[in-house]
Every structure is written in structure tokens, then in C-alpha cells.
Amino acid sequence: MSELRRSWVESANSAATPFPLNNLPYGVFSTGPTPPRCGVAIGDRILDLAGLEAAGALAFGGVFAEASWNRFMARGQADWARLRAALTAALAEGSDQRAALAPHLVPMDTAKLHLPFEVREYTDFYASRHHATNVGTMFRGADKALPPNWLHIPIGYNGRASSVVVSGTDVIRPHGQIKGPDDVLPRFAPSARFDLELELGAIVGQPSSGPLSVAEGFAAIFGYVLLNDWSARDIQAWEYQPLGPFQGKATATTISPWIVTVAALAPFRVAAPPREVPLLPYLEEPGPMLYDIALEVGLTPEDGVETILARTNARELYYSAAQQLAHHASSGCPMRVGDLLGSGTISGAGPEARGSLLEMSWGGAEPITLADGQCRRFLEDGDTLTLRGAARGAGYQIGFGPCRGRVLPARAL
């Protein structure tokens, strides 16, 4: 395991910061009246890359003055590596560039964070075996928990790119058609079974116009974000047959504000779990393609204290983002710079590692007691959900920043 790289930005040398020199995640920020622009997180500061480029300290064609990382991503792997190497050297302890960079460091607590990239398309997968088994057991019984195709294919559905919002954005409880087991007809009402999904999102950084191998898919991924796929379970239950999720998944998808690059996560690559059945050759991995990223989700009621609902790890996934991308492109489906792939809910083997309230409360049958004594089966108005994640090295961590959203009451219709 690699060790902490020390920086002249002192706050980046703390074991508590999610943004050491080893990380250097990319985001979009604004301060006061200035327009959103590209920056990199280092300790408790944001390095203003647009300002650096305007001052002549970087030369990437003016891409950092834009309010997204899409144009930079499109430049390809050589420039990805060139920027990371330049920033690592310039911010390292003992660098002779300190005087040039210091005026372009912005206190993070004075900045507003925006969506870090323009989401072109959004696809959500179902790649955690424990999650799929739990949900299948609830609805089909333990002997038929996994669909027949699950061990052979990364299952997914096409979502709405327009639903993706940055951390800190409030989420309004959705209305939809709902039909309970005792209802003769469906009714139109606010969702009473509103839920979270603890996921990892992969960002496609290179386009394709035909099939990709898993290795090519891995090379096309620019980085990762935490992702909460808000889900209205009662709306979903009525609508999903025969074509799958639609309005129950269209309310919002919250992502963390910083893109953690594949390069930053490289020391934390791990192998997939053992395969119960061999995968078809086009899905076979040429090497470890999952990551050892500790994940947790906390719930804070309105005017209450936070309860950590679950802790799990991204290594619990059965299919990697590279496999998901290879399968997505296998039909010839073009992939574009800025496409977002959600992993699906990440759950571990035990009850304490379940990544959705649907699983935690076992479909609402087993209420969860919060730290202040309140109970939850599903989300209540005023609840704030916070997803956190970090890959932990020797004396440092590679973090994403919080992925947070608060539930607001349904609008009157």
C-alpha cells in the first residue's frame, strides 16, 4: 500500500482529510459573483485551475474556465496523466512552484460546489449480489432470489440524466401511481416508501462507437463519484412490470461533488469475488477492477442527530464498472464523454451492511430505531441522507466528499 505524499498545503497532510496530495479530485466551484470553473481539492483548499491557466501556469486550451470537466475528459489519457503529474509535482512538499500557486488557493468553506461534469446519459445497474439476493428473497423467496440471468449479465436500466443533482440539493418527495395489495384500483399519491440507494458512480471519459473489451472499458473510465439513487418503492412496485423501473427512479440521483480519478484509486484495486458460474469471454476481467472503498450512509432527522445506518465496501460488487461498460457497448450502443454508470445498491453480507432502507427494514416489516429513539421504515420528510466513502492507505485516505440530500414534503397537486 502506498504512503502519504506530503504537500506544502499543510491541511493536506492530515490523516483526517479526504483530499491529500495522493487524491487530487476534480470539481467545479464558484465564489461570490465569479462563474463556475474547474478546480482540484487539496486539503481544505481548492486550487483554481482556471486562474492558474489564465496566469500561464497551465496550458490545456482554456478548458478549466468551463463549468464542467467534459472538454478536459475528451482530451484523453495522455492529458489526464499530464495534468495529474503536473499538479502532484507543483503541490508537493519542497516544490519551487509554491509562490505561483498559493494565490490561486481558495478556502473550500467559502466556495459553492456544482455538478462536476455534464451528465450526457445515465444508466443504473444492479451489480451487488447481496442486494439482489435480499430484494429477490423478499419478493420471490430464497429459492428464487436471483433472476436466472443475474450471474451471467450485468443487469441495468436507462435512467434520466436530467435527474442527476449535486450533493446538497434538496429532493422533493415524488407523486406517482400506487397500488397496494388490498387496493382494487391504483391511486395517485405521494410515495410513502421513499428510499435511498448507496452506490458508486463511474464517469465515462472517452467516447466509443462500437463494442469495447473490458480492458478498453476500464481505460475509458475517468473517475468515480458517490451516488444516491433515490427510489420510490411503492411507485416502482406498481409500474416495473414488464419494462422495469421508470417514474419510481426518476425523482433524483444525487452525486458527490468531487470526481476521484482512476489514477488516485489505483493502489486500492481488488479482485472480484469468486464466480459461481464462468462469465462469457467478453465479460472476463484481465485483472483486478474493483476497489477497496469503505462506504457508509447516515440519516439525520429534522432537528435530530445522525444515525449511521449501514457500513459496507465497494469490493462487494459482483460486476465492475468496466464490465458494465463493456456490456453496455456490446450491442454497438455509442458511449459518450460524460455518461454516468451507477453500480446499483452496494450491500454486504450482514444486516449492518445493507445499502437501502428496503433491505434494512426488510420491506418495512422490521423498523429501524435511530439514535434519538425515532423509528424508520422508509424516509420521512425532513430526513437528510449522507453517503460517505474513502479508500484508506497508510496514514491517508482517498475521499469523495459527502453525497448529501434532504427530503422535502411532496408538492400540493
The residues carrying an active-site annotation are: 131
Q: Where are the beta strands (DSSP E) in 198-273?
A: 198-204, 221-229, 231-232, 253-255, 260-261, 269-270
Beta bridge partner(s), residue 113: 29
Beta bridge partner(s), residue 385: 299, 405
Are 311 and 301 contacting, i.e. CB atoms less than 8 angstroms apart?
Answer: no
Residue 222 to residue 76: CA distance in whole angstroms: 9
Amino acid at 220: A
Which ranges of 307-356 does DSSP label H, i.e. alpha helix? 321-329
Residue 242 preceded by cis peptide, ω within 30: yes
Strands 403-408 and 171-172: parallel
Half-sphere exposure of 407 (CA within 13 A, CB side): 28
Residue 295 to residue 297: CA distance in whole angstroms: 7
Residue 247 to residue 406: CA distance in whole angstroms: 19
Residue 329 to residue 376: CA distance in whole angstroms: 40
Which ranges of 55-128 does DSSP label H, i.e. alpha helix? 70-74, 77-91, 98-101
- The H helix count followed by the E strand count for the chain is 10, 27
